[in-house]
């Protein structure tokens, strides 16, 4: 099935590519890049060229890497330090003395369940998934997402891409503009040296296309390859991205006239269009995704290609609306979601906006996997507990942490009813409670978080635990 021919202002279908030697070469490279044409109503995600889509040996080596007692949360492991493999083999309990608090843990069953459900959702809706690596930047977690069938990984910066390449990840969607000459030089060298490496990045201006093309040429070129770029569509008041169809048309033309680039598709980010699931927010997201499909179809036609393009959207907060609105493209394009926060979910912003909840009866219901354990340092006033976790330990851009559990010094775990965090200092949190709430100095409070990305990046390790709080994994993070 060919892309639709419905007009978008500013686009014109290109004459046969054979009339344009450079463009014909770009199209041939594009077909090689994307592989065989994927036509029909379903698009099956293309597996990595070989193996897992990452380097298992590089991942396994992390388990034997020494963890010093000065690492945040590991103050009880002793002067000789420890390793992740040793903690898992114990098995060691997080409350048995090896760890100091505050400590961020991730629930093994919830993590596995979230990965499985999002993978199943993607398959059920005939879309591909390129999970955003920025959420955890933990190679162990990213590997599990790839093992579950992810098409590739999304990154926001070249630094994040370099981390992924350290672990051999082959397919990366750089969801950003690439303008730093040093970063472009690294990408060019990586593409020359590793033919199996398949990156794509965004462009949203003629100037950006020119800058990227010239920097790639100056860096020595791509050894006959071409860098796939996604023409980014934006919206008024949003971040990057072409604001109109004509602007996207001009950027597409610039890419087609370049020496080192090829049009790989169109992308956009809908998450900033609505803060909730109100009818107006959902309508705005749906309308934007509709524009994305239109512009993608016209960009494919303008390039003179009959093979599939990528059509990519965020999909973290509104995966149901996005997949429905983009369903018209699944017959002729690979639709790629870049969802990231689903992997741990949360007890704040995503628990409020996500359609994947038990309360909604969703077959893809997600579970909050993160728990921040903080000690009660003081009960200086009735109705107030000061805990040992603050802005250095938990994100607060989308709301304060949520008190959920109390663990007494004797080891019993109960729920915390009616408490709320009212303020955070760097290392302290102010927990407001009813005067009747039992919470003693030395107890631990288990907190849920809001917006996983801005909590996990405060931690050098994610400690995975089972239902009995025994360590099942120690995941270094690379922020």
Element (H, E) at 381: strand 370-381
DSSP labels, 51-68: TTSS-HHHHHHGGGSEE-
* Residues 408, 294 share a domain: no
Q: pLDDT value at position 60?
A: 97
**How much is the pTM?**
0.89
* Residues 267, 197 share a domain: yes
Q: List own/partner pairs for 82-90 with CB under 8 A and 24 or more apart.
A: 83/474, 84/473, 84/474, 84/475, 84/476, 87/471, 87/474, 88/63, 88/471, 88/472, 88/473, 88/474, 90/470, 90/471
Whether residue 117 lies inside any domain: the answer is: no
Q: Compute CA distances 159 → 55, 59, 240, whole Å.
A: 18, 18, 19
Whether residue 220 lies inside any domain: the answer is: yes
Closest to 157 measured CA to CA, from 134, 138, 135, 140: 134
* Residues 369, 275 share a domain: no
Q: Compute CA distances 171 → 144, 159, 204, whole Å.
A: 15, 15, 21
Dihedral of CA atoms 350, 353, 357, 361 in degrees, nearest 10, equals -170
Full residue range of the structural domain in which residue 276 is found: 17-36+152-339
Contact 290, 323 (CB under 8 A): no
Residues in the chain: 479
Residues β-bridged to residue 309: 333
CA–CA dist 399, 200 (Å, integer)? 34
* Residues 257, 399 share a domain: no
* Residues 21, 159 share a domain: yes
* Residues 316, 208 share a domain: yes
For 288, residues 6+ apart whose C-beta sits below 8 A from its C-beta are 233, 235, 268, 270, 273
List the chain residues with pLDDT less than 70: 1-2, 4-52, 305-308
- Please give the tally of structural domains in the chain: 2
Q: Compute CA distances 282 → 274, 339, 365, whole Å.
A: 7, 17, 19
- Give the domain CATH number at 469: 2.40.37.20
Q: Is 430 exposed, middle or buried (0-12, 13-18, 19+ CB in 10 A)?
A: middle
Whether residue 277 lies inside any domain: the answer is: yes
Whether residue 158 lies inside any domain: the answer is: yes
Q: What is the DSSP letter of 366?
A: -
Whether residue 263 lies inside any domain: the answer is: yes
- HSE at residue 184, side-chain half, CA atoms within 13 A, is 23
* Residues 442, 327 share a domain: no
* Residues 157, 250 share a domain: yes
Whether residue 49 lies inside any domain: the answer is: no
The per-type count for the chain, helices as H runs and strands as E runs, is 13, 20
Q: What is the DSSP letter of 272?
A: G
* Residues 322, 370 share a domain: no
- ω into 419 cis (within 30 of 0): no
Whether residue 356 lies inside any domain: the answer is: no
- Give the domain CATH number at 221: 3.20.20.10
CA–CA dist 419, 433 (Å, integer)? 5
Q: Compute CA distances 34 → 85, 155, 305, 436, whole Å.
A: 39, 19, 12, 63
Whether residue 379 lies inside any domain: the answer is: yes
Q: Where in 64-197 does DSSP place strands (E)? A: 66-67, 82-83, 103-107, 128-129, 153-155, 171-177
* Residues 413, 272 share a domain: no
Domain end marker among 339, 373, 401: 339
Closest to 366 measured CA to CA, from 374, 376, 375, 355: 355
Closest to 416 measured CA to CA, from 448, 454, 457: 448
* Residues 445, 334 share a domain: no
* Residues 272, 332 share a domain: yes
């Amino acid at each position: 099935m060919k892309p639709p021919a419905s007009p978008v202002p500013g686009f014109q279908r290109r004459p046969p590519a054979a009339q344009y030697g450079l463009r014909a070469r770009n199209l041939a490279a594009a077909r090689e890049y994307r592989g065989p044409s994927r036509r029909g109503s379903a698009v099956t995600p293309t597996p990595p060229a070989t193996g897992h889509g990452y380097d298992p040996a590089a991942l396994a080596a992390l388990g034997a890497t020494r963890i010093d007692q000065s690492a945040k949360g590991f103050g009880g492991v002793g002067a000789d330090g420890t390793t992740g493999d040793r903690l898992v083999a114990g098995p060691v309990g997080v409350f048995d003395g090896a760890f100091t608090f505050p400590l961020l843990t991730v629930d093994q069953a919830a993590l596995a369940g979230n990965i499985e459900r999002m993978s199943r959702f993607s398959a059920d809706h005939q879309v591909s998934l390129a999970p955003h690596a920025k959420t955890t930047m933990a190679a162990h977690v990213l590997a599990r997402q790839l093992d579950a069938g992810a098409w590739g990984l999304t990154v926001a910066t070249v630094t994040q891409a370099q981390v992924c390449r350290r672990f051999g990840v082959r397919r990366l969607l750089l969801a950003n503009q690439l303008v730093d000459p040093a970063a472009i030089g690294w990408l060019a060298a990586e593409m020359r040296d590793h033919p199996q490496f398949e990156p794509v990045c965004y462009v949203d201006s003629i100037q950006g296309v020119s800058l990227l093309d010239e920097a790639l040429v100056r860096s020595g070129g791509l050894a006959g390859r071409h860098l796939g770029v996604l023409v980014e569509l934006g919206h008024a008041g949003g971040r990057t991205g072409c604001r109109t169809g004509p602007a996207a048309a001009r950027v597409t033309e610039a890419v087609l006239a370049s020496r080192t680039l090829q049009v790989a598709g169109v992308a956009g980010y809908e998450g900033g269009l609505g803060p909730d699931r109100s009818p107006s927010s959902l309508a705005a997201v749906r309308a934007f995704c509709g524009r994305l499909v239109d512009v993608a179809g016209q960009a494919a036609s303008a390039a003179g290609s009959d093979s599939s393009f990528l059509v990519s959207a965020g999909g973290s907060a509104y995966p149901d609306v996005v997949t429905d609105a983009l369903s018209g493209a699944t017959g002729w394009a690979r639709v790629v979601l870049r969802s990231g926060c689903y992997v741990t979910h949360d007890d704040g912003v995503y628990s409020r906006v996500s359609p994947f909840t038990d309360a909604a009866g969703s077959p893809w219901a997600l579970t909050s996997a993160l728990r921040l354990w903080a000690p009660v340092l003081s009960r200086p006033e009735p109705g107030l507990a000061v805990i040992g976790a603050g802005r250095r330990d938990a994100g607060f851009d989308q709301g304060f942490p949520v008190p959920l559990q109390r663990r007494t010094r004797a080891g019993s775990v109960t729920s915390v009813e009616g408490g709320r965090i009212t303020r955070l200092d760097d290392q302290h949190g102010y927990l407001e409670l009813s005067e009747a709430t039992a919470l003693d100095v030395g107890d631990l409070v288990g907190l849920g978080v809001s917006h996983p990305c801005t909590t996990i990046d405060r931690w050098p390790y994610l400690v995975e635990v089972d239902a009995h709080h025994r360590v099942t994994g120690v995941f270094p993070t690379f922020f």
